[in-house]
Amino acid sequence: MSKIAILGAGSWGIALSVLLHQNGHEITVWSIVEAEIAMLQKEHEHKDKLPGVKLPSDMKFTSDLKSAVADKDVLVLAVPSVYTRSTAKSLAPFVAAGQIIVNVAKGIEENTLMTLSEIIEEEIPQANVAVLSGPSHAEEVGKGLPTTIVVGAHKKETAEYLQNIFMSDVFRVYSSPDVLGMELGGALKNVVALAAGIADGLCYGDNTKAALITRGIAEITRLGTAMGGKAETFAGLTGIGDLIVTCASMHSRNRRAGILIGQGKSYEEAMAEVKMVVEGVYSTKAAVALAKKYEIQMPIIEQVNAVLFEGKTAAEAVKDLMMRDKKVEISDAMWRL
């Protein structure tokens, strides 16, 4: 049994707390919102974020960060990506040398273009930082539906240790040393999922969705490999796997927000209606900046950026994507003479 703190009481943090408790670990859930902790202590259910998923009576809840972190074997950082740096700053004084922090959020910081694990390593240099990513809606994990995911770490022993902690008969965990590729796949797929939702909001069909998924992973792979990620990562669970589930499911807040944007609402209106942090909105500008930095063509992501922040209509963006210059699909394939 390990002592684990879940830092962040959103839907994903709560779902993982249930999974890890079922695996036999001692769980403490922390939230900066005292009213949220009071509700969890009273109801043993997050009625707003994960209704219907009951939390065990021996699970602990606290708003005191120092006590949440003390003597824990693993810290699971489950705050929205926009709060990763501020939470890491607050966390830093309480983290012991070598203490494991598993980041489970997905995003890229807009002003620095850093991945979330890079932010954590910068703010908490004494920590042993890992990531958990893959096609995994909290609503399904909380109900114990079969899910497959990947844990990434720089050290093999850290990955294997975490693999054992998270693995269960309904939660299969692979390991990977490609932390960068995993994080880029997880962050960038949210932008493509916005595009998929926009297409749904425009009442386009399955052909459009398949095109966005396929060409979307091509864009993600081009950028990811240019930055040092492995092509196999983008063909795996944290690449195409995560992209498929996020583009296809109504559990996806990015897809739901995209639908509203496709119907004519602004991204602010869409996020207000979804009532959750829509990570893809915050990652879009960073993705465009990275594409420029590495001189990579990412037309889908560029059009999403134009719709979100430049006043372009969704219909105009789709037309411009369709009418781009003619291309070959496989650039290094040889024609017969």
Active site residues: 189
The C-alpha angle with vertex 131 and arms to 163 and 161, in degrees rounded to 5, equals: 25
The token pair that represents 104 in the structure block: 């489970």
Q: Quote the CA–CA distance of 220 and 190 in Å, as a whole number.
A: 11
Q: Quote the CA–CA distance of 41 and 55 in Å, as a whole number.
A: 10
Residues 6+ apart with CB under 8 A from 170: 144, 145, 146, 147
Q: Quote the CA–CA distance of 223 and 294 in Å, as a whole number.
A: 7
- 103 close to 129: Cβ distance less than 8 angstroms: yes
DSSP letter assigned to residue 98: T
DSSP letter assigned to residue 238: I
- 218 close to 276: Cβ distance less than 8 angstroms: no
Length of the chain: 337
Q: Quote the CA–CA distance of 265 and 269 in Å, as a whole number.
A: 6
Residues 6+ apart with CB under 8 A from 302: 288, 291
- 260 close to 199: Cβ distance less than 8 angstroms: no
